Amino acid sequence: MHCLFPLRIGVLLAVSAWPSVASAAEFVISGPRAMGMGGAGVAVTTNALATYWNPAGLAMTQTVDVRLQGGGQATDRLGIGDALHDLENFDRGDISQANQVKARSIADRINRPGATVSVNGSAGLYFKGHLGEHAFGFNVSDVATGGGFVSTPVNAHCNPDPKDCSTVTSETTVSITGAMALRGLEARQLAFSYAYAFSDKTFAIGITAKVIQGAAYNGSTTLQEGSGVSTTDHFGKPNISTTYGIDIGAIYRPSSWIRVGVVAKDINTPTFDAAGGGTLKLEPQVRVGLAVNPYSTLTLTADVDATSNKTFVPNVKSQLLSFGLEQTVLSEFLSFRIGTFKNMQDASAPFVPTAGLGIRWFNFRADAGGGYDFREKGALVSASVSMTF
What are 10-37's pLDDT values in tens digits? 333 333 333 445 566 789 999 999 999 9
**Within 13 Å of residue 358, how many CA atoms lie on the same side as its CB?**
28
Q: For position 384, what pLDDT does the model report?
A: 97
Domain 5-388, second-level architecture: Beta Barrel (2.40)
Residue 179 near residue 150, CB atoms below 8 Å: yes
What are 214-241's pLDDT values in tens digits? 999 887 888 888 776 666 666 678 899 9
| Buried-state track 91-116, b at ≥16 Cβ within 10 A, e below 16 | ebeebeeeebebbbebbebbbbeebb
Go through the chain and tell me how many residues it has.
389
What are 282-319's pLDDT values in tens digits? 999 999 999 999 999 999 999 999 999 988 777 788 99
Spell out the domain ranges in the chain. 5-388
Residue 277 near residue 239, CB atoms below 8 Å: no
- For 354-359, what is the mean pLDDT? 98
Whether 183 has a pLDDT exceeding 90, the answer reads no
Residue 289 near residue 301, CB atoms below 8 Å: yes
Output the average pLDDT for the chain.
Answer: 87
* Residue 81 DSSP class: H
Query: What phi, psi does 254 have (nearest 5°)?
Result: -70, -25
**pTM (two decimals):** 0.88
The DSSP bridge partners found for residue 69 are 124, 384
